[in-house]
A and B are shown apart, each in its own frame.
Chain A
């Protein structure tokens, strides 16, 4: 079975802190994704990586950056957390051209 793991299920941070969310997949997938999920808005793509060190902005990249130094690991970074970044963050991975994505359990981030 494909396994996508995220470093934390729940996280509470203060405004202005630097926040790292880690995602690891064990299926040798080329693609990895970070989404943000908010009620009534569905899933919105923050960043997409199609290879090591390669990234592409999604629909809402402002306030976020990403890092992919190894194929299995994709990190989302909030350089200076703000309260409007309180949300559920979901990581996913897929083979190139496959379409279907496999999701991690999510990290619920609260910024106070």
Chain B
């Protein structure tokens, strides 16, 4: 079955440190991939998306993600984390008009 895996349930980083959140997807044709962020008590906000072309995509809030077909991965990165980045992050892939979500990674940021 088509699926999305986020192997890290919870990650803690210090403010100013770099960040990488992992996402793997099950096989398929060129996937449409997304990263969303959810602040406490809020809905999901789209950070970035990959449809085709350049495998390094830039998003909002200084985030980027790299699509690696050989590793079936779409990891999210940020060079320097801010305290306001503390949230839950969801990776997703599109299957026709629907999205399949990973179970999320909760990011905690220490000052």
Residues on A facing B (Cβ under 8 Å): 4, 31, 33, 40-43, 45, 48, 50, 58, 90, 92, 94, 96-106, 108
Contact = CB atoms under 8 A, between A and B. Distances in A.
A100 B103 contact: no
Main secondary structure of the interface of B (DSSP, over half): strand
A54 B90 CA distance: 28
A97 B97 contact: yes
B5 to A, nearest CB: 11
A100 B49 CA distance: 8
Contact of B43 (A40, A98, A105): A105
Interface size class on chain B is 20 to 34
Contact of A106 (B42, B46, B94): B42
Given A31-B97, A99-B94, 9 more contacts: A4-B43, A33-B98, A41-B103, A42-B103, A42-B104, A97-B97, A103-B45, A105-B42, A106-B43
A71 to B, nearest CB: 15
Contacts of B99: 43, 99, 101
Contacts of B44: 43, 90, 92, 103
B74 interface: no
A99 B93 CA distance: 8
Q: Which 5 residue pairs spanning A and B have beta carbons closest together?
A: A103-B43, A99-B94, A42-B103, A103-B44, A99-B32
Contacts of A92: 44
A42 B32 contact: no
B51 interface: yes
Contacts of A103: 36, 43-45
A99 B9 CA distance: 25
Contact of B51 (A33, A40, A99, A104): A99
A41 B101 CA distance: 9
B34 interface: yes
